[in-house]
């Protein structure tokens, strides 16, 4: 049972009547991440945002775009490509999702070092809050400090504070060249290479690592992929320096379309996950975090992938491990160890029972009072079912 309002006014009306009836709503885009990492409960009526999908304002020379929340990032990208521009959102799963969901989940992917996270590039939002009010926040200019920055609190609020109906984003020139150098090496060597790249301060756009089934090979075999974006001479120069820093020629060098496809695949890697665990700590702890992730991968027969620049390590399995005691113990143990490093372990996807037993996000931030008050400010009747963990 879901509602598909065809206008913002209908969304407002729907929210108001849901508030009166006391029936919870869950805003959704293309439903590629319905549980939203434990924020969205299973029960509740879905509020479909995909009927609203027009581009409202696009002046290429401004490098900004304003569009309805329901437009797919893939649809948007096609139009931007014609003008040599792009929206470098590469958070996991983002390619198949909507613009509104990208803003609502506020994630980031390996390109963050180069382009910033989604939250850094959202310029403005239009949002219907839990009491049916329409707020127009921020704007469509790239610098704006007029008033408190409410945009930031809605980006990443995962549908718990309001339904995002329109988004203004900062755009970037599409890189002239897209190259990826691929090294197939043992896992320890891949980690050492990632460290060398980090220390070298080279302007590599992204460094990702995969193990297990990701790029073939099993056991301790791993893949390191270094992505280089830029104009001709610059890209060639960086490529040369990366090869020099790593002391070896790549096993494969991908260009343009092939390079993009490789990273699209990497982004979609978790699409079939039934269990997805995300560990994160400071980038120089990557080796330790991978070591912490390994017993989890073993317990669930999963694969590991890492975003080296951002210190993110993910474990996924396409099978659904039940809340078996050893899986729970492995996850709890890993969370303890990564939190001791100052990091975190979150379940991005999991069966409800496992999520409840392990806890979706772990240690809270210590600002629970503020989190609760923000929720009751924007959703005073508790109509929007998703909840932010405190």
Q: Is 346 in the site for another protein (CB under 8 A)?
A: yes
Among 206, 167, 191, which residue's Cα sits nearest to residue 53? 167
Which residues inside 75-94 make contact with another protein, applying CB under 8 A?
84
Which residue shows structure tokens 């396409």? 318
Given the rule CB under 8 A, which of 92-100, 260-268, 323-331, 371-379 is the region that contacts another protein? 371-379
In the complex, minimum distance from the CB of residue 325 to another protein, in angstroms, rounded to a whole number:
25
In the complex, minimum distance from the CB of residue 332 to another protein, in angstroms, rounded to a whole number:
17
CB nearer to another protein: pick between 212 and 242: 242
Kindly give the pairing relationship between strand 45-48 and strand 55-59: unpaired
**With CB under 8 A, what is the number of residues at the site for another protein?**
81
The b-or-e profile of 293-330 (16+ CB within 10 A means b, else e) is bbbbbebbebbbbbbbbbbbbbbbbeeebebeeebbeb
Which residues inside 174-193 make contact with another protein, applying CB under 8 A?
174, 176
88 to 50, 94, 122, 162, 262: CA distances (angstroms): 21, 10, 12, 25, 15
CB nearer to another protein: pick between 64 and 180: 64
CB nearer to another protein: pick between 5 and 107: 107
Which residues inside 286-325 make contact with another protein, applying CB under 8 A?
310-312
Crossing angle (nearest 10°) for helices 232-246 and 187-199? 130
Two structure tokens written together for 160: 């718990």
**CB contact at 8 A, 301 and 213:** no
**Alpha carbon 112 to chain centroid, angstroms:** 10
Query: Element (H or E) spanning 316, and its range?
Result: strand 312-317
In the complex, minimum distance from the CB of residue 125 to another protein, in angstroms, rounded to a whole number:
11
Which residues inside 52-71 make contact with another protein, applying CB under 8 A?
59-64
In the complex, minimum distance from the CB of residue 217 to another protein, in angstroms, rounded to a whole number:
29
Q: Is 33 in the site for another protein (CB under 8 A)?
A: no
Q: Which of 3, 192, 344, 381 binds another protein (CB under 8 A)?
A: 344
Which residue shows structure tokens 């100052």? 342
Q: Which of 74, 81, 133, 353 binds another protein (CB under 8 A)?
A: 133
Q: Which of 31, 53, 56, 119 binds another protein (CB under 8 A)?
A: 119
Contact pattern from residue 219 through residue 258 relative to another protein, giving x for each residue in contact according to CB under 8 A and a dash for the rest: -----------xxxxxxxxx--------------------
In the complex, minimum distance from the CB of residue 285 to another protein, in angstroms, rounded to a whole number:
9
Query: Element (H or E) spanning 374, and its range?
Result: helix 368-378
Q: Is 96 in the site for another protein (CB under 8 A)?
A: no
- Give the residues across from 226 on adjacent strands: 181, 207
- Give the residues across from 172 on adjacent strands: 86
Q: Is 283 in the site for another protein (CB under 8 A)?
A: yes
The Cα–Cα gap between 322 and 275 comes to 10
In the complex, minimum distance from the CB of residue 154 to another protein, in angstroms, rounded to a whole number:
9
The Cα–Cα gap between 68 and 75 comes to 12
Q: Which of 27, 343, 355, 386 binds another protein (CB under 8 A)?
A: 343
């Amino acid at each position: 049972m879901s509602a598909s309002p065809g206008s913002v006014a209908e969304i407002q009306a729907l929210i108001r009547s849901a508030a009166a009836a006391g029936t919870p709503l869950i805003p959704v885009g293309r439903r590629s991440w319905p549980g939203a990492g434990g924020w969205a409960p299973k029960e509740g009526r879905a509020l479909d945002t995909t009927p609203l999908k027009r581009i409202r304002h696009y002046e290429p020379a401004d490098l900004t775009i304003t569009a309805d929340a329901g437009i797919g990032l893939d649809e948007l990208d096609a139009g931007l490509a014609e003008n040599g521009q792009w929206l470098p959102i590469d958070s996991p799963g983002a390619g198949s999702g909507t613009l509104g969901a990208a803003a609502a989940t506020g994630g980031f992917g390996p390109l963050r070092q180069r382009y910033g996270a989604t939250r850094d590039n959202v310029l403005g939002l239009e949002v219907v809050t839990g009491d049916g009010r329409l707020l127009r926040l921020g704007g469509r200019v790239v610098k704006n400090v007029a008033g408190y920055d409410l945009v930031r609190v809605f980006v990443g609020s995962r549908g718990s504070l309001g339904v995002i109906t329109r988004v203004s984003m900062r755009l970037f020139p599409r890189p002239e060249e897209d190259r990826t150098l691929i090294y197939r090496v043992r896992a320890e060597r891949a980690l050492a290479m990632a460290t060398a790249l980090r220390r070298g301060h080279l302007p590599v756009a992204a460094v990702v690592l995969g193990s297990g089934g990701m790029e073939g090979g099993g056991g301790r075999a791993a893949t390191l992929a270094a992505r280089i974006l830029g104009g001709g001479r610059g890209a060639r120069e960086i490529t040369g320096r990366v090869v020099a820093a790593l002391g070896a020629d790549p096993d494969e060098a991908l260009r343009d379309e092939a390079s993009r496809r490789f990273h699209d695949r990497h982004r979609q890697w978790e699409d079939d996950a039934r269990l997805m665990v995300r560990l994160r700590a400071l980038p120089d702890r990557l080796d330790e975090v991978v070591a912490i992730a390994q017993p989890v991968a073993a317990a669930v027969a999963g694969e590991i992938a890492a975003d080296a620049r951002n210190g993110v390590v993910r474990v996924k399995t396409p099978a659904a491990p039940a809340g078996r005691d050893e899986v729970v113990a492995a996850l709890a143990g890993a969370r303890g160890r990564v939190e001791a490093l100052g990091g975190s372990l979150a379940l991005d996807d999991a069966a409800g029972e496992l999520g409840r037993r392990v806890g979706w996000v772990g240690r809270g931030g210590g600002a629970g009072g503020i989190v609760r008050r923000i929720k009751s400010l924007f959703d005073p009747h508790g109509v929007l079912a998703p909840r932010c963990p405190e």
